Structure 1
Amino acid sequence: MNSAERFYLPVDGILEMFSSLSGFTHHPVSNVSKAGMGIIKTVKGCWGRRDKTGGAHRSSSSGIPRGSADRLPRVPVQFGVTKPRNCRRIVVLGAPRVGKTNILRRFLGEEFEEHYEPTIEDFYRKLFYIGGEAYQVDLLDAARERDFPAKRRLSILTGDVFLLVFSLDDRESLNEVHKLQREVTAAKAKIHKPARAVKLLVCGNKADLDQRVVAGSEVGQILGEDVPFFETSAKDGTGLEAVFAALATLGGLPHETSPSRHQIISILTYQSLCVGRRGRRRRRLWRGAGAPCAAVDPVAQRPSFSSDLRLVLGSSTKAKKPEVCPVQ
Structure 2
Amino acid sequence: MNTTEKFYLPVDGILEMLNSLTGHHQSSIAHPGLQSTSLSPVLQHPKVSNIPKTGMGLVKTVKGCWRQQDTRIVASRSSSSGSRQVSADRLPKRSVDLLDLGLTKPRNCHRIVVLGAPRVGKTNILQRFLGKDFEESYEPTTEDFHRKLFHIGGEAYQVDLLDAASERDFPAKRRLSILTGDIFLLVFSLDDMESLNEACELLDEIKAAKAKLLKLKQPARVPVVVCGNKADLDSERVVRRSDVGKILDEDIPLFETSAKTGTGLDAMFRALASLGGLPQETSPSRHQVIPILTYRSLYVGQRGRRGSRTRLLSAPCAAVDPLARRPSFNSDLRLVLGSSTKHNKPEKCQIQ
Q: Shorter-chain TM-score: what band?
A: 0.7 to 0.9
Measure, in 1, the Cα distance between the counterparts of 2:307 and 2:283: 30
- If asked which structure has higher relative contact order (CA below 8 Å, sep 6+), I would say 1
Measure, in 1, the Cα distance between the counterparts of 2:148 and 2:231: 26
Bigger-Rg structure (1/2): 2
**Tell me, what secondary structure is at the counterpart of 2:207?**
helix
Measure, in 2, the Cα distance between the counterparts of 1:199 and 1:321: 28
The CA RMSD measured in Å over matched residues stands at: 2.1
- What is aligned with 1:254? 279
Q: Cα offset for 1:224?
A: 1.9
Matched, 1:220 2:245: yes
- What is aligned with 2:94? 74
- What is aligned with 1:191? 213
**Tell me, what secondary structure is at the counterpart of 1:295?**
strand
Q: Cα offset for 1:323?
A: 6.4
Which shows bigger deviation, 223-232 or 238-247? 223-232
Q: Cα offset for 1:244?
A: 0.3
Count residues with an aligned counterpart.
253
1:1-328 equivalent positions in 2, closer than 5 A: 74-76=94-96, 78=98, 79-194=101-216, 196-209=220-233, 210-275=235-300, 280=306, 283=309, 286=312, 289-318=313-342, 324-328=348-352
**Tell me, what secondary structure is at the counterpart of 2:140?**
coil
- What is aligned with 2:14? none
**Tell me, what secondary structure is at the counterpart of 1:213?**
coil
Unaligned runs of 5+ in 1: 1-72
Change (3 A) 1:191 1:269: same
**Tell me, what secondary structure is at the counterpart of 2:225?**
strand
Quick check: 2:299–2:307 contact (8 Å CA) kept in 1? Answer: no
Quick check: 1:77–1:297 contact (8 Å CA) kept in 2? Answer: no
**Tell me, what secondary structure is at the counterpart of 2:104?**
coil
Change (3 A) 1:319 1:234: farther
Amino acid at match of 1:253: L
Measure, in 1, the Cα distance between the counterparts of 2:288 and 2:197: 37
Give the structure with the larger helix fraction. 2
Quick check: 2:299–2:308 contact (8 Å CA) kept in 1? Answer: no
**Tell me, what secondary structure is at the counterpart of 1:247?**
helix
Q: Cα offset for 1:77?
A: 6.1
- What is aligned with 2:40? none
Change (3 A) 1:322 1:229: farther
Measure, in 2, the Cα distance between the counterparts of 1:308 and 1:93: 18
Amino acid at match of 2:228: G
Measure, in 1, the Cα distance between the counterparts of 2:299 and 2:347: 44
Deviation per CA, 1:238-277: give whole Å up to 9, x if none: 000011000000110100000000000000110111236x
**Tell me, what secondary structure is at the counterpart of 1:137?**
strand
Amino acid at match of 1:183: E
Quick check: 2:341–2:347 contact (8 Å CA) kept in 1? Answer: no
Amino acid at match of 1:272: S
In the superposition, the TM-score normalised over structure 2's length comes to: 0.68
Measure, in 1, the Cα distance between the counterparts of 2:350 and 2:300: 39
Q: Cα offset for 1:75?
A: 4.1
**Tell me, what secondary structure is at the counterpart of 2:146?**
strand
Which shows bigger deviation, 112-121 or 191-200? 191-200
Amino acid at match of 2:147: R
Q: Cα offset for 1:82?
A: 2.1
Change (3 A) 1:319 1:218: farther
In the superposition, the TM-score normalised over structure 1's length comes to: 0.73
